[in-house]
């Protein structure tokens, strides 16, 4: 059972009239992770640091806040993470129209995507839980009956291993991710993340419009504010160019270098006081770095509100709008019948 901080989360029924189910994972180091079945949501990540228990994950404490907030805190996003332009794509001569939920565009799977639905708990143990969901043909406009699972495992060396699997009976775009926001000084410390150091193993990023829709081609990070190949603070080059000013900061995808996908971390974040760091490992082709530019006003776990830049997200995924860009240098985002969609992302916390 999850710790008492989240009792209020289960006190109010969810959208389907039933209370949420919470699962707490613990490891021998005293690290604790709380996950909720609604949205298969990562609610909390408590890491022991210098004698204190520090929750490094932004989160909510009531169901009302969860149902109303628009920041996707910690949820599992699907069928398709990030944006699909004008809520449509063409595949083999047929046009598919999706549910629009961010202006004209489809964001994170549509207005009733997987992020706010109840997932079934398939199995659980002290250090691992697996959730499953079924999505019928035509759900949010996506073709095919799709079945998906996500498992969270808290290892004994402070890794949170998130494994995604899915299958479909019609060709459909699939792109699952977790939308966790991290603040290594503590989610409720009141500090922003601008002094966190970030390193991203990527030579190319994807410029976008102010609505987050890709302009077309990947561009080199050379001589831009998007170059995180050598660690620098998030705030060092904040708002230094038009691409960032378009969206009040960083909210862009990076195409990960192949060299990073063979055991090397694709991204590393370090706390300003060097008390801890977090490494990200994945076999996904891209990562979205979002600096929390629009967090202001989002309810916080302690009854207040989060501020702009109070957490950062590192969402492993396909590049946004990939169904409309088969020419991009990544594997296809379309999952075929008989294929298994299978990817893993690891967040490793080093104290």
Question: pLDDT value at position 6?
Answer: 79
Q: Domain of 286?
A: 4-350
Question: pLDDT value at position 3?
Answer: 53
Pick from 338, 340, 341, 332: which is nearest to 91 by CA?
A: 332
Question: pLDDT value at position 167?
Answer: 98
Question: pLDDT value at position 4?
Answer: 59
Question: pLDDT value at position 5?
Answer: 64
Question: pLDDT value at position 332?
Answer: 97
Question: pLDDT value at position 1?
Answer: 39
User: Cβ(172)–Cβ(154) under 8 Å?
Assistant: no
Q: Catalytic residue, from 130, 153, 270, 315: name it.
A: 315
Count of domains observed in the chain: 1
HSE-CB of 188 using CA atoms within 13 angstroms: 15
Question: pLDDT value at position 257?
Answer: 94
Question: pLDDT value at position 202?
Answer: 97
315-326 pLDDT, tens per residue?
A: 999 999 999 999
Strand 41-49 vs strand 52-55: parallel, antiparallel, or unpaired?
antiparallel
Q: Is 315 a catalytic residue?
A: yes
Q: Is 179 a catalytic residue?
A: yes
CATH number at 44 reads 2.70.98.10
Q: What is the pLDDT along the chain (351 residues), one digit of tens a residue?
A: 345 567 889 899 999 999 999 999 999 999 999 999 999 999 999 999 999 999 999 999 899 999 888 899 999 999 999 999 999 999 999 999 999 999 999 999 999 999 999 999 999 999 999 999 999 999 999 999 999 999 999 999 999 999 999 999 999 999 999 999 999 999 999 999 999 999 999 999 999 999 999 999 999 999 999 999 999 999 999 999 999 999 999 999 999 998 887 779 999 999 999 999 999 999 999 999 999 999 999 999 988 999 999 999 999 999 999 999 999 999 999 999 999 999 999 999 999
Q: Catalytic residue, from 105, 108, 116, 179: name it.
A: 179
Cα 286–Cα 316–Cα 127 angle in degrees, nearest 5: 150
> What 3 state SS string does the chain have?
CCCHHHHHHHHCCCCCCCCCCEEEEECCCCCEEEEECECCEEEEEEEEECCEEEECECCCCCHHHHHHCCCCCCCEECCECCEEHHHEEEECCEEEECCCCECCEEECCCCCCHHHCECEEEEECCCEEEEEEEECCCHHHCCCCEEEEEEEEECCCCEEEEEEEEEECCCEECECEECCCECCCCCCCCCCCCCCEEEECCCEECCECCCCCECCCCEECCCCCCCCCCCEECCCCCCCCHHHHCCCCCEEEEECCHHHHCCCCCEEEECCCCCCEEEEEECCCEEEEECCCCCCCCECCCCCECCCCCCEEEEEECCCCHHHCCCCCCCCCEECCCCCEEEEEEEEEEC
């Amino acid at each position: 059972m999850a710790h008492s901080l989240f009792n209020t989360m289960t006190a109010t029924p969810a959208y389907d009239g039933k209370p949420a189910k919470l699962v707490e994972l613990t490891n021998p180091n005293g690290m604790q992770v709380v996950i909720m079945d609604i949205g298969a949501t990562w609610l909390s990540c408590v890491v022991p640091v210098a004698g204190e228990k520090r929750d490094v994950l932004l989160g909510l404490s009531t169901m009302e806040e969860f149902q109303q907030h628009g920041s996707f805190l910690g949820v599992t996003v699907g069928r398709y993470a990030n944006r699909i332009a004008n809520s449509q794509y063409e595949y083999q001569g047929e046009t598919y129209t999706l549910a629009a939920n961010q202006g004209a565009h489809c964001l994170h799977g549509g207005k009733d995507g997987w992020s706010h639905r109840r997932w079934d708990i398939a199995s659980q143990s002290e250090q691992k839980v697996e959730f499953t969901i079924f999505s019928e043909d035509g759900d949010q406009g996506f073709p095919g009956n799709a079945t998906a699972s996500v498992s969270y495992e808290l290892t004994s060396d402070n890794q949170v291993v998130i494994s995604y699997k899915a299958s479909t009976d019609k060709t459909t775009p699939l792109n699952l991710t977790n939308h966790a926001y991290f603040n290594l000084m503590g989610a409720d410390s009141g500090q922003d993340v601008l002094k966190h150091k970030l390193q991203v193993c990527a030579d190319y990023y994807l410029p976008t419009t102010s609505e987050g829709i890709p302009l077309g081609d990947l561009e080199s990070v050379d001589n831009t504010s998007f170059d995180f190949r050598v660690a620098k603070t998030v705030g060092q080059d904040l708002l230094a160019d038009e691409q960032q000013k378009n969206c009040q900061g960083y909210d862009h995808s990076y195409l990960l270098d192949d060299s990073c996908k063979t055991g090397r971390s694709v991204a590393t974040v370090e706390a300003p006081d060097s008390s801890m760091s977090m490494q990200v490992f994945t076999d996904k082709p891209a990562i979205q770095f979002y600096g929390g530019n629009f967090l202001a006003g989002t309810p916080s776990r302690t009854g207040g509100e989060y501020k702009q830049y109070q957490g950062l997200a590192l969402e492993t995924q396909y590049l946004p709008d990939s169904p409309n860009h088969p020419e991009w240098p990544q594997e296809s985002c379309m999952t075929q019948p008989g294929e298994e969609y299978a990817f893993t992302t690891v967040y490793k916390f080093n104290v």
